[in-house]
Structure 1
Amino acid sequence: MNEYNGNTFHGDVRITGDNSPIVGGSHNAVGANPAVHHVSPEPADVSQQLAELLRLITEHEQRLDDPEAARSCAAALSEETAKVKPDHGLLRTLMFGMTAAAGSVGAVAESVAKLRQTFGF
């Protein structure tokens, strides 16, 4: 590890002053996107969106690619979002799983997209 001009170098990886890793001579940061900020939405908003999602899962159950996975992901989302500090990685994974379970049912996929946007994903 070397330091030069406020930057830390680990081989070909440079860590800038704001802890953004840059590989080689590239100016493109790798890893977490510094422009993406996860937010802590209002619990009432999340509860309302989850209730709508569950309603849509029930309404479109016969058309979903995997209704059991959709219900399971929705239950896990409800449990995780109820926590004071939900695991954003887990939330993102569950939302991607929900989108896959929805298949071609646009109403469910749109509901999940709104939820993702609420959390800043």
Structure 2
Amino acid sequence: MENQPNRNPPHARPAPAARPNPPVEAAPPRAHWTPARQRIFLAALLESGSVARAATAAGMSRSSAHRLRRRLAGTVFAQTWSRVLALHADRLADPFAPDPFASEPRAAPAPRSGGAPVAASVRK
């Protein structure tokens, strides 16, 4: 019996019953650095000076923001990033300097009535 040929060669065997494939869940859409997200990022970076906070505001991660900057080195985006950080540092250095992005110039504080210096009007 050992030398008997296979009576059911592979091509003659019945195919297994077809099983329906389980439904495949669609992967969540990947986030990309769209121009709108780049604008949100740069605006938030100007306000906060924090790459992590700005990336979160744009719905992205800090590491992806740094990758984007490296990938777009020399482009308007990378140059604007550097300029925004410089502007943020200038704001911190002199909080009373005029804001170049303000729609109206900052108004000077109104003088105190009586014209007395501020230090003289403080009572001990």
TM-score by length of 2: 0.25
Structure possessing the higher radius of gyration over alpha carbons: 2
Point out the structure with the larger helix share: 1
Point out the structure with the larger strand share: 1
TM-score by length of 1: 0.25
